[in-house]
Amino acid sequence: MVGITSYGGYIPRLRLQRSVVYAANAWIAPGLFGSAGGERSVANWDEDSVTMAVEAARECIKGFDKEHIDALYMASLSFPFKDRQNAGIVARALNLREELESADFTSSSRSGVSALAAGLNSVQAGSTRNTLVTVGDRRITKMAYTHELLAGDGAAALMLGTDDVIAEFKGSFTITSDFIDHFRGQDEPFDYNWEERWIRDEGYFKIAPRAIEGLLNKTGVAGEDISAFIMPCPFGKATHKIAAGCGIAVEKVADNLHKVCGDTGVAHPLVMLVAALEKAAPGDKIIVASFGNGCTALMFEVTDNIKRVSGIKGIQGCLKDRKEDQNYMKFLAHRGLLQQDLGMRTEADWKTSLTALYRHRGQILGMVGGKCTKCGTNQFPKSNMCVNPECNAVGTQEDHEFADKPGKIMSYTGDLLTFSPDPPAHYGMITFADGGRGMFDFTDYENGKIEVGQTVRMVFRIKVIDQARNFIQYYWKAKPIINSEED
């Protein structure tokens, strides 16, 4: 049996109120009023598609033997690197073994589902045993544009394999068509979108049904037997019409999460799939479809193993863990849409030594420290000598991962002098439960809600961006746990 063996999801904590966006732009775009309800998820300044994919994947592989993962695929339309494999960064952050097949999927709105289909086909063919598929998007749109309100930021991850399958893969069907609903040319910062009625009537209503009907015919399943129909679509009830035309009950159309987070781009079909799996029951048949230069549709049947899934925060947990944000100017600034004077402290040269990054990739990207094989002392960063004064053994260190270790704040500073895109900067000494300590920046904190002894969770984030060379430096940061939903 081939299918999904685990899942994870991630929606950033910040939620920008759409009414704030409308209020700022109503003078020039009053038509935005129709899209001004609810809120959209917003990645923090130090988050991008890679860091969000890492968060989703960390949850997905929790308790899984990493040595058994032999492929990692990542999909996004907002990759931070055009010529550096983004999936490779995710693999290093997760400390997966180097004997790993990896690939980036992009250039189409359905590339997330394409990555999922490729992973399933690889497992089905026996080329790989356990394939991790990660998807994430943090799209940039023009100000005062409908898509600024419709879009959201988020990520999802699925583990695919043959053991303990929670949702069996029943089949897929793809229509490939150079139907252009939008495009983004080389080096263009924004998408160019075509007329909405054309996209809906000639695209969704004519292309998507062919893929879904093809899938139903291929699998021999009737539309009336589908328990959940997932297909992101920006046109209101259009998905209901497509479902009804394929014999799928309208009440089986999954909530597109528009009111609570928005459309997370390439990630959204899988974000919605994770949300569906969180409340699925054995025997449920789920179709997930994605439109973009054609349409790809996949079918899964939930197994009894779904009952064993527990302890996953998932999409629903992320949606509950929210912080309302009404600062539209900060939202624009963090997306590089405002030209600001950031002061002389930003003029430092942040050139990255690529040789040092490679030599210390375990520590920097994977948060790997050391453990003394003689006395068992953990330490971060790893060194050649044990830090235990009663041991001081040399050459006894073995790799020890710290990213998933709980930590506590030993000391901290709030600093308004050093530059931070979201001042004041907070940083301090973090001690880990089973030994080891280090200085780390804080992220996703709230002023006045940080204190010594507070529990933190380590998260993979952007540390700094080398603006001169447009190179992103990643590192691990401490996220203070403010409420139980975050843990």
pLDDT recorded at residue 434:
87
pLDDT recorded at residue 484:
54
Task: Cite the DSSP H helix spans in 151-237.
Answer: 196-198, 205-219
On the question of a cis peptide bond just before residue 269, with omega within 30 degrees of 0, the verdict is no
- At a CB cut-off of 8 Å and minimum separation 6, what does 327 contact? 20
Burial of 63 (0-12, 13-18, 19+ CB in 10 A): exposed
- At a CB cut-off of 8 Å and minimum separation 6, what does 229 contact? 239, 243, 248, 252, 253, 254, 286, 287, 289
Dihedrals phi, psi of 176, to nearest 5 degrees: -105, 120
* Calpha distance 271→53 (Å, rounded): 11
Going by C-alpha positions, the residue among 482, 421, 423, 425 that lies closest to residue 450 is 482
Residues of the chain with pLDDT under 50: none
Domains in the chain: ranges and CATH = 3-334 (3.40.47.10), 344-367+402-486 (2.40.50)
Residue 310 burial (CB count, 10 A): 5
* Calpha distance 90→314 (Å, rounded): 19
3-state secondary structure of 444: coil
- At a CB cut-off of 8 Å and minimum separation 6, what does 233 contact? 204, 239, 242, 256, 291
Strands 154-161 and 131-137, bridge-based pairing: antiparallel
pLDDT recorded at residue 330:
95
* Calpha distance 44→345 (Å, rounded): 21
Helix (H) or strand (E) holding 135: strand 131-137
3-state secondary structure of 438: strand
pLDDT recorded at residue 344:
76
The strand ranges marked E within 147-303 are 154-161, 167-176, 182-183, 192-193, 228-230, 285-291, 294-302
What one-letter code names the amino acid at 342? L
Packing angle of the helix pair 238-245, 205-219 (nearest 10 deg): 40
Task: Give the end-to-end CA distance of the chain in Å, rounded to a whole number.
Answer: 33
Residue 415 burial (CB count, 10 A): 13
**pTM (2 d.p.):** 0.96
pLDDT recorded at residue 261:
97
* Calpha distance 73→161 (Å, rounded): 14
Cross-strand partners of 41: 15
* Calpha distance 472→229 (Å, rounded): 38
pLDDT recorded at residue 204:
98
What one-letter code names the amino acid at 59? E
Residue 440 burial (CB count, 10 A): 24
User: pLDDT tens across 183-192, in order?
Assistant: 999 989 999 9
Token code pair at residue 260: 């609570």
Chain position carrying tokens 């996949």 = 298
Contact 300, 170 (CB under 8 A): yes
* Calpha distance 230→254 (Å, rounded): 5
